[in-house]
């Protein structure tokens, strides 16, 4: 026995655990001791800390170096970076063979496989950990894995995403103060939103989960993935200010990551082109435009008009939000397709000469409208945009259309074959 009655093995375990915990604290709380301007150095600094930690671990007495806990903590230290580490895989594999009940070793090994893009082996590890003990880390990691399992069967993919939400919820319920679990629940809801018809309630659940992650864990606000994924949702919801701010924040937190920079530039380009087209009413002006508008006949309202139908209103008379009981009619003066091809955007000018942007979602690729087409929109959902970002300002009005099936084009209904489900890409690798 050691002096004071302490167990030498316990002392070694505590010392090793302290070293590795300090390493992970340095990584996870990096921006509490560094500014965002240091973001480009973070990976290098974490690797330097890892090397210091590994040196201290190696100084431990050789008698402990074949113990499962020693191998697990050494493997965990090597697993602190975002990249796959072969030595970490070897050490953690040995640890679980020596002690199959070592839950943290299973979780760490699963994360190593995840970084290796071996989703099947990662799932096996997380299920192995849960077989020994229900724990939040395995549950939330399993949530990530379920979303990455791809099948040719759309129903099976939907079931996997539903299961992903279930696992993430269980992780949150086990520890509501864990920001990482809330963040992964947000990602699960994000996937569910895009695979089940874009229910606004699910969108709000995703946003609430991201917000809760930041509330309970101040390190969550330094997670570039959270900002990118939330910005993706904001863009789809046409909260363009939040989208631009999110892309910008993600880029600042991880300067080597090109995706948020590209997404921010694409959105700025789209908004700039859109405002220019709206202000100029496309390329149709003067007498030609007047002739087109003069032919906007009530017959183009189709089944939305007539006795007992919806009330025809001008674009300028609409109120923000859904305008129940109303219908608008106008001519297409331009179309614009963003880089991600969603939404299909066109400019609509009504009989009074107002020009608003129309944003159409969930359309098949072959669907579209042509310049000079008439378009009838029932119960239009109006949004007013006042966006300022990096010295640029964008001010315009838009109408959101969740499916082309709702529209009449040249007085004709758009059939069910014009509608398609939306898909979205978000960054899962380092959740």
Average pLDDT estimate for 178-195: 93
User: Could you give the CA distance from residue 222 to residue 253 in angstroms, rounded to a whole number?
Assistant: 7
Burial of 223 (0-12, 13-18, 19+ CB in 10 A): buried
Do residues 155 and 256 share a domain?
A: yes
| pLDDT tops 80 at residue 66 | no
Do residues 94 and 171 share a domain?
A: yes
**Joined tokens for residue 240:** 């363009």
| pLDDT tops 70 at residue 426 | no
Residue 332 forms part of a structural domain: yes
Do residues 257 and 309 share a domain?
A: no
Residue 425 forms part of a structural domain: no
Do residues 319 and 236 share a domain?
A: no
Do 142 and 124 touch, CB atoms closer than 8 A? no
Per residue in 343-390, pLDDT (tens digit) is 899 999 999 999 999 999 888 888 999 999 999 999 999 999 999 999
- pLDDT for residue 200: 82
Do residues 265 and 287 share a domain?
A: no
- pLDDT for residue 38: 93
Residue 431 forms part of a structural domain: no
The bridge status of strand 321-322 relative to strand 408-409 is unpaired
Per residue in 128-168, pLDDT (tens digit) is 999 999 999 999 999 999 998 877 777 788 889 999 999 99
The number of distinct structural domains making up the chain is 2
Q: Which of 219, 217, 193, 218 is nearest to 205 (CA)?
A: 193
Q: What is the CATH number of the domain that holds 360?
A: 2.40.50.550
Do residues 149 and 179 share a domain?
A: yes
Q: What are phi and psi of 403, to 5 degrees?
A: -160, 140
Residue 138 forms part of a structural domain: yes
Q: Which domain holds residue 190?
A: 3-269
User: Could you give the CA distance from residue 427 to residue 430 in angstroms, rounded to a whole number?
Assistant: 8
| pLDDT tops 90 at residue 323 | yes
Q: Which domain-ending residue is among 235, 269, 303?
A: 269
The residues with which 355 forms a beta bridge, in sequence order, are: 349
Q: Which residues contact 33 (CB under 8 A, 6 or more apart)?
A: none
Average pLDDT estimate for 88-96: 96
Do residues 140 and 249 share a domain?
A: yes
Do residues 230 and 341 share a domain?
A: no
User: Could you give the CA distance from residue 25 to residue 383 in angstroms, rounded to a whole number?
Assistant: 43
Q: What is the CATH number of the domain that holds 174?
A: 1.25.40.10
Q: Give the distance, in angstroms, between the CA of residue 213 and the centroid of all CA atoms in the same chain.
A: 14
In Å, what is the CA distance from 201 to each residue of 93, 188, 193, 406? 42, 14, 9, 21
Do residues 197 and 255 share a domain?
A: yes
| Bond before 347 cis per omega within 30 degrees | no
What is the model's pTM? 0.87
User: Could you give the CA distance from residue 61 to residue 58 in angstroms, rounded to a whole number?
Assistant: 8
Do residues 100 and 198 share a domain?
A: yes
Per residue in 293-308, pLDDT (tens digit) is 999 999 999 989 877 7
Residue 423 forms part of a structural domain: no
Do residues 261 and 295 share a domain?
A: no
Do residues 152 and 80 share a domain?
A: yes
Report which DSSP code applies to 374.
E
| pLDDT tops 60 at residue 429 | no
The SS3 of residue 316 is helix
Residue 421 forms part of a structural domain: no
- Quickly state the pLDDT bin for 431 (edges 50, 70, 90): low
């Amino acid at each position: 026995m050691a002096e004071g009655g302490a167990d030498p093995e316990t002392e070694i375990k505590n010392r090793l655990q302290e070293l590795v915990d300090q390493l992970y604290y340095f990584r996870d709380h990096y921006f509490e001791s560094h500014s965002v301007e240091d973001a480009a150095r973070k990976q290098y600094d974490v690797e330097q800390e890892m090397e210091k930690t590994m040196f201290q671990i190696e100084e431990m007495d050789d008698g402990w170096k074949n113990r499962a806990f020693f191998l697990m903590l050494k493997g965990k230290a090597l697993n602190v970076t975002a990249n796959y580490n072969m030595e970490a895989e070897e050490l953690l594999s040995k640890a679980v063979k020596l002690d199959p009940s070592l839950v943290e070793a299973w979780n760490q090994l699963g994360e190593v496989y995840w970084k290796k893009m071996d989703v099947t082996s990662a799932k096996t590890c997380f299920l192995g950990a849960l077989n020994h003990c229900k724990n939040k880390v395995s549950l939330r990691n399993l949530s990530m894995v379920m979303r990455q399992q791809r099948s040719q069967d759309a129903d099976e993919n939907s079931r996997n995403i539903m299961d992903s939400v279930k696992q993430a919820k269980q992780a949150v319920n086990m520890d509501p103060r864990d920001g990482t679990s809330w963040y992964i629940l947000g990602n699960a809801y994000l996937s569910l939103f895009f695979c089940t018809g874009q229910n606004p309630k699910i969108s709000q659940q995703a946003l609430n989960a991201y917000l809760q992650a930041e509330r309970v864990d101040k390190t969550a606000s330094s997670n570039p993935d959270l900002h990118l994924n939330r910005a993706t949702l904001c863009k789809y919801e046409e909260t363009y200010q939040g989208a631009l701010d999110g892309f910008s924040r993600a880029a600042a937190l991880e300067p080597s990551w090109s995706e948020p920079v590209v997404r921010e530039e694409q959105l700025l380009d789209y908004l700039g082109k859109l405002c220019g087209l709206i202000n100029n009413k496309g390329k149709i002006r003067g007498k030609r435009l007047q002739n087109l508008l003069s032919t906007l006949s009530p017959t183009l309202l189709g089944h939305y008009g007539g006795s007992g139908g919806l009330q025809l209103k001008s674009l300028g008379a609409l109120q923000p939000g859904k305008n129940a009981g109303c219908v608008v009619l106008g001519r297409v003066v331009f179309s614009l397709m963003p880089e991600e091809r969603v939404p299909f955007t066109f400019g609509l000018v009504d009989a009074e000469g107002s020009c608003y942007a129309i944003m159409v979602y969930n359309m098949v690729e072959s669907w579209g409208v042509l310049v000079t087409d008439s378009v009838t929109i029932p119960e239009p959902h109006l949004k007013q945009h006042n966006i300022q970002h990096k010295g640029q300002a964008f001010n315009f009005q838009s109408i959101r259309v969740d499916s082309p099936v709702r529209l009449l084009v040249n007085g004709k209904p758009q059939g069910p074959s014009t509608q398609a489900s939306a898909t979205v890409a978000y960054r899962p690798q380092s959740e």
